[in-house]
C-alpha cells in the first residue's frame, strides 16, 4: 500500500502555507514568473472539504481547505462518476488530495487532481 505524503513535497519542504507566503512576498507583477517552478509539482495533503459545484454535466469543481483553515485553499476538477461520494459530503469532512500544481494565485492553489481519498476513520455524512 502506498504511503500518504508526497516525497517530492516533503523533500523540498513545500507546504501550501509556504507556497502562499512566497507568492505574497513577490511584487504583484513578478508573481506569475516566480511561481513557474511550482507548476507540475506533486502535492499530497490532508485537507477538508469546503464546497463543490457542477462545472458541466460530468465534472465537479471542488474547493478544499488545509490546516490552518484560512481563506486560502485548493481547487480542482474531478469527474463526479469517479467520486459519487461527493454528492453526500459536507463541509469540514476530512479528505486527502493528490495532484499536480497547475497554478497559484492569491487565494488558491489550482491542482490537476489525480486522486481524492476519503478518510474511512471519519463518521459518514447523513444526507
Phi and psi at residue 57, to the nearest 5°: -65, -25
Nearest to residue 95, comparing CAs of 54, 63, 53?
Answer: 63
Whether residue 37 contacts residue 77, with contact meaning beta carbons closer than 8 Å, is answered with: no
Q: Which helix (H) or strand (E) holds 10?
A: helix 7-12
pTM (global) more than 0.85: no
pLDDT value, residue 121: 46
67 phi, psi to nearest 5 deg = -80, 140
Average pLDDT rounded to a whole number, residues 115-121 = 80
Amino acid at each position: 500500500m502506498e504511503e500518504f505524503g508526497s516525497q517530492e513535497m516533503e523533500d523540498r519542504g513545500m507546504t501550501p502555507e509556504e507556497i502562499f507566503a512566497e507568492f505574497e512576498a513577490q511584487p504583484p507583477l513578478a508573481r506569475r514568473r516566480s511561481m513557474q517552478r511550482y507548476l507540475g509539482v506533486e502535492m499530497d495533503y490532508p485537507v477538508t472539504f469546503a464546497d463543490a459545484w457542477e462545472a458541466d454535466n460530468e465534472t465537479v469543481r471542488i474547493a478544499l481547505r488545509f490546516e490552518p483553515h484560512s481563506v486560502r485553499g485548493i481547487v480542482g476538477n474531478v469527474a463526479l462518476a469517479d467520486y459519487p461520494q461527493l454528492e453526500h459530503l459536507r463541509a469540514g469532512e476530512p479528505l486527502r488530495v493528490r495532484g499536480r500544481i497547475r497554478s497559484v494565485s492569491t487565494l488558491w492553489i489550482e491542482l490537476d487532481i489525480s486522486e481524492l481519498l476519503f478518510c474511512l476513520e471519519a463518521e459518514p455524512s447523513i444526507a
